[in-house]
Structure formats: structure tokens, C-alpha cells
Amino acid sequence: MDTEQTKKWTGYHNTSSARQELPLNLRIAWERALQRKIDPYMACPMEVSVEARAKIKADNKRIFVCAQSLFHATKYMVKENGRFCLLLFSKEGVLLAIYHYDQMNEWLSDHKINVWTNWSEDYIGPNIFSIGIKKKTGTTMIGAENYAHIFTNGAWYFSSIFDGNDDLLGGLALVTTADYASDYLEYLVYALSKNIELHFAWFGFFHNASSVTEGMGFMSIDQSTGENRILTMGEEIFKMLGIKEDNYVYKRLEQYIDPLPANAEFWDMMNRKDCVSDKTIRLICRGRASTVCISTSIFKEPTFHIDGLVVIFNSYSRIQRLVVKYNGSVAHFSFDSIIGKSKSFLDAVNHTKNAAYSESNILLLGESGTGKDVIAQAIHNASYCRKGPFVAINCASFSKELIASELFGYVEGAFTGARRGGSIGKLEMANNGTLFLDEIGDMPLDLQAVLLRTLEERCFMKVGGNEIKQINTRIIAATNKNLSEKMKNGLFREDLYYRLSVVRISIPPLRLRGNDILLLANEFLKNVCDRQHKKEVSLTEDAKEFLLNYKWPGNVRELNNLLEGIVSISSSDLISADIIIKYLGYEETEPMSSLQALATDSSELEQMKRALRENRGNRCKAAESIGMSRSTFYRRLREYGLGNR
């Protein structure tokens, strides 16, 4: 310290009149320190305990990494002057980091300036931090203005650092030897602090954006120093890789993703700065294997002088959900959207609702077109796995050779024509959701054995693969075949049947649902008119009578297609029985009685007999119980020869 500064410092300590030369806020701080009897010759920053450092690191990791990147920028701004250093403080006054050139090593050591020291006024009296942190403008302290003797031969410049909400984050000090003091350094430290604030805001936005979507996360890697240093790492990435989140900022990426040779493909991409899109890759992270889908992009930030890679991680389960979503494998129907009031149908629906809340596999039995797929979707949407995917596969629509790859997926090169990269199977798509196996009675016998083993062990392997995949999938199967007959003939495995049919529900055919036919018809007409932007179409009385007496071999599907076809080709707002008869392809001269005879079968007769028994012969109540109009019920009794009973 020069002679003039020595005189000032001695005077400040010895006389009140000398301290009058100090700015008011600094003079008050000096008076406080003297009253506390802080020894100016012994005063130096107090070391923070090891136990307290972990929390300080966690609370200040963002500001630390922002300043770390900024230090590289200062090399270019003041590269000709190495006699200075930057000190980064937390808002509580803990020195977090020191950025300096080798020329300052000895000076810093002599002045006991070390990280993890507390610069509170309680320990060292008024100093650049304690005075500067209370001001939003820059602060300068030269030589004798420092209370502690150890700091009096330095020139100190300080600027506080705030976030976007004007909350204090910490501060940045620039210190040099007193002989290098210059007004421009005051402006420089202020500019650097504002740069950190901008950097902080940029990283804050990036970090928040990286955790918006479940199963998707962003990671930014600073490679400007020749290493792979983490700038930001979304919380979702920790979940994907099975790593417990910690203070990751500016750590080497190798501390999380195992180095060569375990992840050779990944590190080759990082080191070459490859730009890839949606690449599926297997990573070993701290000894744990994970499969993720990654995309990379190069970034270069000239303001902060950092460059590296942005890596976007998608979890394998998220990719599966997207595949399911855009494949249209979504359950659209719920129990609220199911139409029907007949007793036989409501009984089936109520049983199905109860079964939906269980975890048991369900087998839906019924003729083709009765709506088994609609019921399956309703079950899914009422079940515990409703937030998961709903995936359907028609076992009758694939050849024996293809159904296995459709169900289980396959690896690349599994067979001639296999897609590059392999394919996800329906079973894997349906993980944590529902797999609907329609037409299960047509599944090849040898594949039934594989499916049985999968259901029992809850795991499978892709075609051509050797990796075992665990699944948690609820199975709903459906068939219009007589499985009992197929089991007798050795065409369906009994053990698989009992595994699939823990709950068995029969869906009644349309011809046994009485007035449900008209309820469905009116709903279908409304929907098709809305879709085709046509005026409302209604049924004549003779059309209603015909629909109620027609046998409906195609059930609900046939009714829907019939009405849509008629509306599409007709300009009339009324549909009569004649129009329906022509559309069905019958001759106009064919007697109505022969058409109505299409509806007669033993199942309807048994239903009517049962209704009469249950209602003690009361025909009105019997007709109502099966959803049939009284006139139709009486006429059908006469046709069956029961009219006089």
C-alpha cells in the first residue's frame, strides 16, 4: 500500500474526523465494525464448513455455470491484461468461484482469497461484497476504503446479479492490484454481471423447457473447453436413465453416462458432434441399461463463447405412446356412449362394467358385428389402465407367418424384408395398457403356445431377438367362433382358453335386442346425416316394422352400413320399407312374410318363452322386458304357433 493510502487507512481507524471523508454508507459500516472491535489486522474471510457446502452448491449451481462460461469471454475482452481476477459471490456472501490468470496466483494466496469463504461484514468489516450487495448500481473500493488491512493494496469493483424477477442472485467482483486501478474496470464488471443475468435467463428458459413433456428431456453440453460439460439437464432425463438427480451443473457427462467402451456408439457421436434424428440407442448409465431415442444438434453461442451439442432424449415408452397414438390405436368409446335398453344387452353391459375394474383378462363372445370392439374400448376406458395405450390386433387378418411379428415385433435382420431398425410389436405397444385380441379363435395353434407363455411369465422376446422384455398388459380377447367346439377338435388350446376367459361375457345379437334396433337406427341416421351435411332423415312406420323383424346376420355393423348406404344414395328425407328391401337386393314382388321369416330362429323363440315364464304369462310385461313392441310380440307368438296360449 502506498504512503498516501497508508495515511488514509490509519486515519480512518484512529479518528472519527478522518472517517468523515468516507461516503456515508461506508462510514456507517466502519463505525459498526469498530464498535464490534473487529481487528483490522487479523480480519480475513471465514472458511465455510464442509457440511454447509452441499446446500450452497445446490442453491447456486445456475449462477455458477453462467459465470463459468462467461470467464472464457473475458479472456478475449482483456486478454492483454492478466493482472486481475473475478470473484463470484452468493447472495449470502460466500465466495463460490475465482477466475484468474497465473500472474495473480501469488497475490491471491497472500491475501487469503479462497473459495468457500464467507465475506460477511461480521468477520472482515466493510468490504467490496458487503457494501456492493446492497446496491443495484456498481460499487468501487480503492485501497484504504477497505476495513481489513489485508485488502488495502487492491482496487475492487463490484456489481450485483439479479434474475428476471429482480430477485438477488449474488454478485461479481473484479479485483486488481492498486497500481492497475482504472475507471473502465467499474464499467467492465457491470457489463459482465449483466451478461451473467442474460445467461441465467437463457439457461432458466432452457431448463424449464427441457422438463415440460413427460418422457422427453433436453441436455446441453458445453464442449468449448475440450470436455463434455453439462450446462442443463432436464429432470426427465434423470428418470429415463434411472439416475438420482444431484448437482449436475458443469460436471463431466462421463460421470452419468459410462465412458468407453460401454457406450461406444454414443461417445462417437458426441466426439464427432454428429447430428442425428430419432436414433434409438442403448445406454449404460452408472451400470444400468436404458433404451432411449436421441436427436442432436450443434449450437454455438458467440455472446457467451460456448459451443457444443443439444441432445434431446425421448424415453422408449414415450415413443411407444406416440406410435400408438398416430397409428389410431386409441379407445374412443366409453360405457356412456353405448346405446341399448334391452334387458339382455343391459345385463351384458353391467357385467362388463364390473369386470372392467378388475385386472382379470376378459373374453368377449358374440356374433360378428355385435360390437365386441366397442365393448373392449369401453372396458379399457373404465379400467385402471385407462391412461395407458389401447392396442388392437385382428388375429384373422394376418397370415401365420406375419402374426407373430405383428404381435411381438422383430429385430433388424430377423427375416427377409424386415424393416431397418426392427419394429415394435403390438404387445410392446400395449405395455401398461390394454391389448385387444380380436378374432382370437383364428390364431394359429403354434402361436397360441407362445402367447400362453407370455401371459404366464409377463415377458417376451421379439422375433429374431434374444433380449427379454417385461410387460404389464391387460388382455381382452374376442371371438365369434365356438371355442368349445374348436377345443374338442384340437384347434384351440384349453389352457390358453382358461387363461383368456377368466371373465366370459356374451354379447347378444341384434335380433334379440328388440327396440334397441330403432334406438341404434336413429343414432346412426343422425351421425351419417351430420357427416354428409344432409338434412335429417327419418324412418317410416313400415320401415321400423321391417327393421324390427329382420334377422340381422351382420348385427349392429350391418344396420349401420345399411343406413349409411341408403342415405348416401337417396335424396329423400324418409326411408321406407320398400327402399330398405330394394337396397338389400330382394325382389319387390317377394312377400313380406318371407322377408320377415328371416328373423325366425330358435334363439328368439327361447327368449320369448323365457320372458313369458319370468312374467307369469303377462305378454305386455314380457314384450317390455326384451325390448319388443307389443304388436310385434303378439305377431311373433302367432308365427310360432303360440298365439292362443
CB atoms under 10 Å from CB of 533, counted, come to 6
- What's the pLDDT score for residue 329? 62
| pLDDT per residue as tens digits for the range 35-49 | 999 999 999 899 999
Bigger pLDDT: 612 vs 525: 525
Q: What is the DSSP string of 364-394?
A: EE--TTS-HHHHHHHHHHHSTTTTS-EEEEE
Q: Which of 209, 204, 260, 193 is nearest to 231 (CA)?
A: 204
Comparison of pLDDT for 91 and 606, the residue scoring more: 91
Average pLDDT, the chain: 84
Residue 204 pLDDT > 90, yes or no? no
pLDDT at 544: 92
What CATH number belongs to 210-317?
A: 3.30.450.20
Distance CA 579, CA 34 (A): 108
CB 581 within 8 A of CB 593: no
Contact 82, 101 (CB under 8 A): yes
| Percentage of the residues of the chain whose pLDDT score is greater than 70 | 89
Full-model pTM: 0.54
Cα(9)–Cα(143) distance, integer angstroms: 8
Answer for the pair 89, 171: CB distance below 8 angstroms, yes or no: yes
Across 250-271, average pLDDT: 88
pLDDT, position 345: 93
In sequence order, what are the beta bridge partners of 538?
A: 574
Classify burial at 350, counting beta carbons within 10 Å of its beta carbon; exposed 0-12, middle 13-18, buried 19 or more.
exposed
Per CATH, the architecture of 327-506 is what?
3-Layer(aba) Sandwich (3.40)
In angstroms, rounded to a whole number, what is the distance separating the alpha carbons of residues 517 and 627?
9
What confidence tier does 78 reach under pLDDT thresholds 50, 70, 90? very low
pLDDT in tens, 394-411: 888 777 778 888 888 888
Superfamily of domain 3-206: GAF domain (3.30.450.40)
**441 with 485: CB under 8 angstroms?**
no
Same CATH fold, 210-317 and 3-206?
yes
| pLDDT, position 75 | 55
Look at residue 210 in the predicted model and tell me its pLDDT: 65
- Give the model's pLDDT for residue 73: 56
Four-residue CA torsion sign, 495, 499, 504, 509? negative
- pLDDT of the residue at 588: 45
What is the pLDDT, as a whole number, of residue 607?
A: 79
Q: Verify cis geometry, omega within 30 degrees of 0, for the bond prior to 591.
A: no
Gyration radius (Cα) of the chain, Å = 40
Which three-class secondary structure state does DSSP give residue 40?
Answer: coil
d(CA 365, CA 486): 14
Of the two residues 307 and 257, the one the predictor is more confident about is: 257
Q: What DSSP character marks residue 127?
A: -
* Bridging pattern class, strands 474-479 and 434-438: parallel
Question: By the 8 A CB rule, do 161 and 191 touch?
Answer: no
Question: Is 80 exceeded by the pLDDT of residue 206?
Answer: no
Query: How far apart are alpha carbons 115 and 105 in whole angstroms?
Result: 13
pLDDT for residue 645 is more than 70 = no
pLDDT at 1 over 70: no
C-alpha–C-alpha distance, residues 60 and 96, integer Å: 8
For residues 227-252, give the mean pLDDT.
82
Cβ-based neighbours of 243, under 8 Å, separated by 6 or more: 256, 285, 286, 288
Torsion over CA of 352, 356, 357 and 361, rounded to 10 degrees?
110
The span from the CA of 246 to the CA of 376, in Å, is 44
More confident site: 475 or 81: 475
Q: Tell me the pLDDT tens digit for each residue of 136-182.
A: 888 999 988 999 999 998 899 999 999 877 889 999 999 988 888 88
At the top level of CATH, the class of 510-599 is: mainly alpha
- Alpha-carbon span 550 to 600, nearest angstrom: 9
Tell me the per-residue pLDDT of 120-143, one tens digit each, with 9 for 90 and over: 998 899 999 999 998 888 899 998
Instruction: Look at 202 and 597; give whichever has higher pLDDT.
Output: 202
Best CA proximity match to 341, nearest among 520, 506, 205: 520
Nearest CA-CA partner of 580 in 543, 525, 555: 543
- Dmax of the chain from CA atoms? 133
586: confidence class by pLDDT, cuts 50, 70, 90: low
Q: How large is the average pLDDT for residues 325-354?
A: 85
509-559 per-position pLDDT tens digit: 999 999 999 999 999 999 999 998 888 999 999 999 999 988 898 999 999
Q: State yes or no: pLDDT of 596 exceeds 60.
A: no
Q: Which of 370, 349, 348, 344 is nearest to 625 (CA)?
A: 344
Spatial CA neighbour of 436 closest among 372, 523, 528: 372
Kindly indicate the confidence band of residue 590, based on its pLDDT and cuts at 50, 70 and 90.
very low
Q: Which range (54-58, 158-162, 632-636) has the least confidence?
A: 632-636
- All structural domains of the chain with their residue ranges: 3-206, 210-317, 327-506, 510-599, 602-639
pLDDT for the residue 600: 45
- The pLDDT score that the predictor gives to residue 79 is 47
Percent of the chain with pLDDT over 90: 34
Instruction: Decide which of 207 and 285 is more confident.
Output: 285
Which residues are CB-contacts of 181 (< 8 A; sequence separation ≥ 6)? 142, 155
Collapse the DSSP code of 429 into the 3-class scheme (helix H, G, I; strand E, B; otherwise coil) and give the result: helix
CA–CA dist 513, 517 (Å, integer): 7
How far apart are alpha carbons 90 and 169 in whole angstroms?
A: 7
- Provide the phi-psi class of 439: left if phi over 0, else alpha when psi is between -120 and 50, else beta: left
Cβ-contact 529, 537 below 8 angstroms: yes
How many Cβ atoms sit within 10 Å of the Cβ of residue 378? 23
